[in-house]
Chain A
Amino acid sequence: MVSKKILVLGCLAAAISATAAQAEEIVELRAAGGTFEPLRLAVPAGAPFKIKVTNGEKVPVEFESFELHRERVVQPGDTITVNMPALSAGSYKFFDDFNDKTPQGEIVAK
């Protein structure tokens, strides 16, 4: 009886730790003052993650990355969540396609 309880508890603990390990990392990015903050996002390589993009500008911005095949419009004051795939270690550029003067940012997967 006691060994059964231990087995059940063990299974539960394993399930909880597996769920925690699978939880995707969320990184935050803000467009404001004609730039992205931060301009360099560090993420772990080999695991999917999400980017929360907030537009603090008074005009729409378009978060875009050719390399990562992402393109999303963010209206002023809005926050969106972009699903990102697991990346190989390396650097991936992103930019605001609506505003040429906004400096390019990069996602660095390590």
Chain B
Amino acid sequence: MSPSRFATGGRRLTLAGALVLAAAQLVRPAHTNPPSGGDLVAPAEASKALRRACYDCHSNETRWPWYASVAPLSWLIQHDVDEGRRRLNFSSWQDYASDPETAAHKLEQIAKTVERGDMAPWYYRLLHPSARLGEEDRARLARWAADEARRLAAPQN
């Protein structure tokens, strides 16, 4: 292939990419924050850490960043929030709490996940440094969640 034909091909590819990206902007997910059904009540420090590191995906109080309106990032973020809210939604905590053992189970999972440092996902922490939990925060959150889980768990079914 001659250099000029190569350059023309490159330009066409760039143009096609730009067109696809522009067309992708037409598919906009609806970013919503539904009303809370009864939030989790936690000690101030634990609550602060949860809000900072977890609430964007695990509550109805998502802070949608500007790039949440730019495809394809908007699709990825919407998927993460939908999945996060489905698995654990702090804004629906009173619903979990109407079955105390479900609430206890959720708290046990929070304690384990936080202790292992599994959340937030690495790619999320990359874009949101504030979502990183320091060792002290992790220990405090895990301890509180484990204690609360033990308190809620009924001795027998």
Contacts and interface: CB of A to CB of B under 8 A. Distances in A.
Interface string A71-104: 1110000111111110000000000000000000
B157 A79 contact: yes
Contacts, number: 34
A68 B86 CA distance: 10
Nearest to B99: A83
B98 A72 contact: no
Interface in B64-120: 86-87, 89, 92, 95-96, 98-102, 105-106
Interface residues of B, number: 14
Contacts of B101: 72, 80, 82
Interface string B12-37: 00000000000000000000000000
Nearest to A84: B99
Contacts of A70: 96, 99, 102
Contacts of B92: 69
B98 A85 contact: yes
A49 to B, nearest CB: 12
Nearest to A83: B99
Contact of A81 (B87, B98, B105, B157): B157
Contact of B95 (A72, A78, A81, A85): A85
Contacts of B102: 69-72, 82
A70 B102 CA distance: 6
A28 to B, nearest CB: 14
A69 B105 CA distance: 12
Nearest to B105: A71
A78 B157 contact: yes
A83 to B, nearest CB: 4
A71 B106 contact: yes
A82 B86 contact: no
A72 B105 contact: yes
Nearest to B92: A69
Interface of A: 66, 68-73, 78-85
Given A69-B96, A70-B102, A81-B157, 5 more contacts: A69-B92, A71-B105, A73-B105, A80-B101, A82-B101
16 contacts: A68-B95, A70-B99, A71-B102, A71-B106, A72-B102, A72-B105, A73-B105, A78-B157, A80-B101, A80-B157, A82-B99, A82-B101, A82-B102, A83-B99, A85-B95, A85-B98
Question: Which 7 A-B pairs give the minimum distances between C-beta atoms?
Answer: A69-B95, A83-B99, A80-B157, A66-B86, A69-B96, A70-B102, A71-B102
